[in-house]
Amino acid sequence: MKRLPIHMVTVLLLGLALTGAVDTSAQHATNDRWSFSGYGEMHYNIPSNDTAELDFHRLVFGFGYQFNDNISLHAELDFEHAFTEPEVEFAYLDFFYKEPLSFRAGMMLMPVGPLNEFHEPTLFYSVERPHVQKYVIPTTWQEPGAGVVGTLADGTFGYRAYVVGGLDASAFRASDGIRKGRQKAAEAKAEDLAVVGRVEYSPVLNLTAGASGYFGGASHGDDALGDATVGMVEADALVKYRGFELRGVGVMVFIGDADSISTNNSTGSTVGEQIMGGYAEAAFRVLSQLRSGSQRDVVLFARFEKFDTHHEVAEGFVAAPEFDREIITVGAAFFPIPDVALKTDFEFWETGDGSSWEQINLGLGFTY
């Protein structure tokens, strides 16, 4: 990814701030059209089998603009690893039609799983995001496209459905499947498109169930890669009861012509024909149960993850057991206020080839 010169980034951010704060034109005469938000997180990772690492992982600046009652802009600029990897996280326009239907176009987060669209560090309890959301669902995953969004049944049923640019199969890898195939609209190949969608159902306040799907081509006219179709199905649920929370996520990825991709991809690795993953997480909010109405909270949690990027490989190829991984994570998150989180957790890794290691994580996250 090309890096923006630091002076260009500074001028861009300063311009955005001034535009929202100063009466610069008749069109932008009122400040209430603008909205600003964002988040950041810093991680300290101490693995037993590698060198410790300290990383200001993300600093994100978000903004929106309401052109009129029907058209609005939503965008985020993401600067990862202490400002060394800038990217457009999303930038799209919403065209409101009527209550159950709006049209959306631009650079959008893929509506796959419970975390990809809403991944601020105060919305999950571990220092790192669940690893299934990295190695199987390639969070953060954004692509350009257009589609429809809306809610039905008094807000209890929601949906998003888009046509978007396809993945690039030439960059698929054994260790993390389709992750490197994200193109992020950076002069992206566009011979193949994909469809993606999600539905969510919340019949009662403390229950949410969701399902997601993705299907599209990824060869972009490269006959050596075959059809390279990618399909994904995902389901998840979250239940809350008196401070207890229980979440479950399951996902499968299917890759067509994985033999051709493995033989001709740019990574030189065997790509799985099927990739699977899932996790279950239990959490308990301690302080909110002891003192009703308190802004402070401590959340204790435990999570079990299992994922295998070589769940099945094409005929003639051999599945590598090291890509069959299990992780147990236990930890705590302290919220002095709802928008700030101090986190610590312990990860216990085990792979199908018998390897195992532990990792201690410390983290700071905030939203604004």
pLDDT digits (tens, 9 = 90+) for 278-293: 999 999 999 989 888 8
List pLDDT tens digits, range 170-217.
999 999 999 999 999 999 999 999 999 999 999 998 999 999 999 999
pLDDT above 70 as % of the chain: 92
Give me the phi and psi of 232, to 5 degrees please.
-140, 135
pLDDT at residue 7 is higher than 80: no
Q: Which residues contact 60 (CB under 8 A, 6 or more apart)?
A: 38, 39, 40, 76, 77, 78, 79, 89
**pLDDT beyond 70 at 308:** yes
pLDDT of residue 258: 98
Cβ within 8 Å of residue 25, ≥6 positions away: none
One-letter amino acid at 224 equals A
Q: Residue 149: what pLDDT?
A: 97
Residue showing tokens 């991944």:
119
The pLDDT of residue 3 is above 90: no
Is the pLDDT at 238 greater than 90? The verdict is yes
Specify burial of residue 49 (Cβ count, 10 A radius: 0-12, 13-18, 19+).
exposed
Pick from 102, 106, 111: nearest CA to 93: 106
Find out whether 317 and 262 touch, Cβ atoms under 8 Å.
Answer: yes
Residues 355 and 335: their CA atoms lie apart, in Å, by 35
CA pseudo-torsion sign 241, 114, 72, 148:
negative
* pLDDT of residue 28 exceeding 70: no
Mean pLDDT of 295-315: 97
Give the angle 149-155-161 at the CA atoms, nearest 5°.
20
Place of tokens 């535009």: 19
pLDDT for residue 4: 39
Q: What's the pLDDT at 5?
A: 44
Exposure on the CB side of residue 236, measured as CA atoms within 13 A:
28
In this structure, are residues 104 and 278 in contact, taking their beta carbons and an 8 Å threshold? no
Give the Cα separation of 355 and 322 in Å (integer): 8
Give the model's confidence band at 230: pLDDT under 50 very low, under 70 low, under 90 confident, else very high.
very high
One-letter identity of residue 317: F
Tell me which DSSP letter residue 10 carries.
H
What residue segments make up the domains of the chain, in order of their start? 6-21+30-367
Q: Do 358 and 348 meet the contact criterion of CB atoms below 8 Å apart?
A: yes
Number of Cβ within 10 Å of residue 67's Cβ equals: 12
Contact (CB, 8 A) for 40 and 78: no
The Cα–Cα gap between 57 and 85 comes to 10
2 or 208, which is more confident: 208
**What is the average pLDDT across 218-243?**
97
Q: Average pLDDT of the chain?
A: 92
Q: 257 near 226, Cβ under 8 Å?
A: yes
Look up residue 223 and give its amino acid: D
Give the mean model confidence (pLDDT) for residues 229-236.
Answer: 98
341 sits in which H/E element? strand 340-351
Q: What is the pLDDT at residue 16? A: 36
Instruction: Kindly tell me if the per-residue pLDDT of 26 is higher than 80.
Output: no
| Domain covering 6-21+30-367 in this structure, CATH number | 2.40.160.10
pLDDT given for residue 294 in this prediction: 85
pLDDT at 131: 98
What is the tens place of the pLDDT at every residue in 81-110? 999 999 999 999 999 998 899 999 999 999
